[in-house]
Amino acid sequence: MKFLNNNWFSKKTVKKWFTWRFERDNNYYFGLILLVLGILSLALYLVVDLLGIFDAFEPVSFLITFLISGWGFILLWKSDNDYRFKQAQQKITELEQRLAYSRLFIVPPRQLKRTKR
């Protein structure tokens, strides 16, 4: 009973353990769910087939599991590429701004006037 009296499983503790920050788009999380479901269904088919309950691992079930896992993987891949591209674009924009600002100190003012025409 000491376990229950220490507020070990309080809301504050649970919030510390599970800090969800949804930074990605919906395709990332949907793809992650599909990939996990595909892997779990494949494991379920194999366990049921090994226990001999019934012949669960048919070619159609394998095809469905493969398509679900593939769809999840493609969604994850697309979302990750989009996320990395957005981060790269932000970094490039920041570097361009810094370069334009530092150019003011390197190029003499008379040449800056010519390039502004």
What φ, ψ does residue 111 adopt, rounded to 5°? -80, -30
**What per-residue confidence (pLDDT) applies to 99?**
85
**pLDDT < 70 positions in the chain:** 1-11, 14-15, 56-57, 107-117
**Which residue's entry shows tokens 């334009």?**
100
**What per-residue confidence (pLDDT) applies to 105?**
74
**What per-residue confidence (pLDDT) applies to 91?**
96
Q: pTM to 2 decimals?
A: 0.62
**What per-residue confidence (pLDDT) applies to 16?**
73
**What per-residue confidence (pLDDT) applies to 77?**
94
**Residue 39, token pair as written in the block:** 């892997």
Q: How many other CB atoms sit within 10 Å of the CB of residue 73?
A: 15
What is the distance between the alpha carbons of residues 96 and 80, in angstroms, rounded to a whole number? 24
Q: What is the DSSP letter of 1?
A: -
Q: pLDDT (tens digit, 9 = 90+) per residue, 62-94?
A: 888 899 999 999 999 999 999 999 999 999 999
Q: What share of the chain is helix, strand, coil (3-state, %, to 5)?
A: 80, 0, 20
**What per-residue confidence (pLDDT) applies to 4?**
53
